[in-house]
Structure 1
């Protein structure tokens, strides 16, 4: 740029209390007011069975009030953070209106009972998120990313429309509650179309492989929008499966297919993360993997556990995105620690196994799951894996010596899995009255095959086996690339887009 200088000029941060426009301040206050109201409604629901409704249109149940609290809380956090982050931006007011509109749309969606209203709100939710992704209208790349996301979201809405139409055709019901009541009559080709379309719509919205392209192409979004996307929007796939659990639980074969789909994304998300060099892309690939775990839990028949996972993942991922700048500051070039082939590697494996077994025992004791020979056993296994992975990642980012980390991992992991179990119990209690919360299935040889393949692949990744294949590395690198039209290759374009 003409007249530019390479020397950065850093001034005082804006005083958000004095200089922010009225709209951001008002919407932030309103969002926190919605959060306080949602907490009160949740208490009334649990304590007094509060369940208002507009027959045939809106029905407030445990899932509704639980998601109200979660969505309003994340919306309040994002808006509060954005008061400073977006201060001075030409798009500030539009951004705040879009974030508030997104939260309001989702809160209405989880209360919608009419099939047509649910479908329209699902579409609106996607279109508002696409607006947030392309909020900087001056950036060609941001507009390209928004267009990519919009195509995926419209496809998801079209599939949901097919599913809802098929369910109406099969049951004659125009409401979600009516479909749930008639679930016992579902079957045949129309049900197959509806169930397949529901699962595909959930996969697209949650960015599961092979539909993860829109998420990895969305890095043009402002960081608060990314936090809202990864902490809230991608969870919509899990919410969809929970809301239509009576439909997908009709067939154990379909439930097993959902487990396999989730396991594939959980593993590929971890692999894709290993080849990405930047913080936000790594977080994006991590989300792909974590959404895979959530879908797996739904496929195992534990819908309360799937909601628990999306809530805890939302907190975790929102924190990671909003603190991503600090992570960049803490990252400095240095010698990469090699994988030890001596006795220390054996000690690390032994310590990890012992820690995992202890955590599994804690989860079983606190929830009662995994005591029968059914899919609950796999639920415990997968919860241990995802929680242990997060704990090891948290400890691995610290500057502790390797020997100290062996003891630090249990200190992080055991309280984390205990918290997971307690939140699961609380979520399950809040979901009282929802048609299907738990629907465990019998273990089959196929379940065993999925579990063995998952465990074997996970251990191989941890051991670095995938790093020995150049062909696999290239394949993963290609699979983790965003759409070429969304790549920002000229720093001057970034500067111009941010100042106009």
Structure 2
């Protein structure tokens, strides 16, 4: 420890006594009013049921009201947090306008039924996020990051345009609901072009490998913008696949391809996270992996599970980004190896993971038949094993207390997760497809075996024995060179 009493800063600190402009104050109050209204609409929708719509334009269904509540809540937190974070900044008003604009675009997107309106709001959502990434207009690296993100988002919008055009051509429908209703008759090259373009658009928006560079290049964004990005924006890929679930579930081979894409990103995200030296990039790589899990659940046919995952991941990632500074402050190097677990600890972790999988299967009914539900339960087991092992390795309690606490914490947590999953699936029940388990094929088993083997290898640190792999992972996780800040003097917003 040193006797240093002051911390180095980049630029002058903002004056916290300066009164905020009226726009941020008004927008913060407005977004919380929208949250209250969304909760009221959600309750009404659950009690009354059915769909509320303006035919051919918008539809308010279970997904709409659920996402309204989630999006406005996250946005309200970000608005309130930013009132202090952005105080004194010359870009404060522009930042709040972009955050609120993004919120409005997402709320509109989950309501849109006409394909043109859906595509327009998808584009608006991406442009608003690019604006947030490049908030500081005098910072060259921030502008470069915004340009990188904008190119990806424009590509995603172009692919969505191709998909919607192909599906309109194949069905004659100009609405999302109309395309869903006619999906049973889809086949041939036009459908394939539309379906593949949908999946690619979702992959880009959710920053799946190999489209993750825009996310890892976005670290110039203010921290609350990063929280909104990782808690909300990247989830759009899952929402897109759910809205067009009748289209992608037409063919089992396409669904298997989605599983492979998701599993690959889940594993590579975990590997990329292992080589990151800073908190925000580590969180970014974690998002790449978690979005892989979300897309994988959709590929297995469990769209309700995908939505549950994106919501819970949103809460988790918003918290971690908004508290990233505290994590840096309180984290110190340690000589202990978190992979070293005693035999008793390993047994407790294994039993907890298996018990969690069985409990999830019993509460949800998934995994009780020979279909893709077995893989969903397997991934629940793997996730529980990972979380339980981390708790055993990192908790500074006596061994007996740690081993006893793990099942007492994780079994109720799995119970809560299963109940939340069932509740969300119930809210989504009016959608054309919420659950569509696929027949278990040999390729599903192969994907599961490879995934499990690689995952176990990562957990025990096999990948760290290869310097070549380490360098390859480090290179694969590098942001665009134009977005890298090499001199702190280049950034002096104030």
Residue 404 of structure 1 and its aligned partner are, at CA, apart by: 4.5
Match of 1:231 in 2: 231
Match of 2:181 in 1: 181
Deviations 1:267-317 (A, max 9, x none): 110000000010001100000000000001000001000000000000000
- Contact 1:262–1:292 under 8 Å retained in 2: yes
Deviations 1:356-387 (A, max 9, x none): 11111221222111111111111111123234
Match of 1:472 in 2: 469
Cα separation, 1, equivalents of 2:490 and 2:398: 42
Match of 2:386 in 1: 389
Cα separation, 2, equivalents of 1:91 and 1:398: 41
- Within the alignment, does 1:367 sit opposite 2:364 as a pair? yes
Residue 49 of structure 1 and its aligned partner are, at CA, apart by: 1.6
Cα separation, 2, equivalents of 1:287 and 1:373: 30
Cα separation, 2, equivalents of 1:110 and 1:270: 30
Match of 1:493 in 2: 490
Deviations 1:213-232 (A, max 9, x none): 00000000000000000000
- Contact 1:163–1:197 under 8 Å retained in 2: yes
Residue 48 of structure 1 and its aligned partner are, at CA, apart by: 0.7
Equivalent residues in 2 for 1:303-314, closer than 5 Å: 303-314=303-314
Match of 2:95 in 1: 95
Cα separation, 1, equivalents of 2:426 and 2:119: 28
Give secondary structure in 2 for the equivalent of 1:53. Answer: strand
Give secondary structure in 2 for the equivalent of 1:40. Answer: helix
Match of 2:3 in 1: none
Match of 2:80 in 1: 80
Cα 1:353–1:391, aligned 2, differ >3 Å: closer, same or farther?
closer
Cα separation, 1, equivalents of 2:158 and 2:167: 14
Cα 1:68–1:391, aligned 2, differ >3 Å: closer, same or farther?
farther
Match of 2:450 in 1: 453
- Contact 2:352–2:388 under 8 Å retained in 1: no
Give secondary structure in 2 for the equivalent of 1:432. Answer: helix
Cα separation, 2, equivalents of 1:242 and 1:68: 16
What is the CA RMSD across the aligned residues, in angstroms?
Answer: 1.8
Cα separation, 2, equivalents of 1:399 and 1:491: 37
Residue 114 of structure 1 and its aligned partner are, at CA, apart by: 0.4
Paired residues, what number? 487
Larger mean Cα displacement after TM superposition, 387-396 or 109-118: 387-396
Give secondary structure in 1 for the equivalent of 2:429. Answer: coil
Equivalent in 417, 432, 435 of residue 432 of structure 2: 435
- Contact 2:352–2:384 under 8 Å retained in 1: no
Equivalent residues in 2 for 1:56-67, closer than 5 Å: 56-67=56-67
Match of 1:286 in 2: 286
Match of 2:301 in 1: 301
- Within the alignment, does 1:414 sit opposite 2:416 as a pair? no
Match of 1:3 in 2: none
Structure 1 unpaired stretches of 5+: 1-5
- Within the alignment, does 1:355 sit opposite 2:352 as a pair? yes
Residue 337 of structure 1 and its aligned partner are, at CA, apart by: 2.5
- Contact 2:226–2:321 under 8 Å retained in 1: yes
Equivalent residues in 2 for 1:18-37, closer than 5 Å: 19-37=19-37
Match of 2:118 in 1: 118
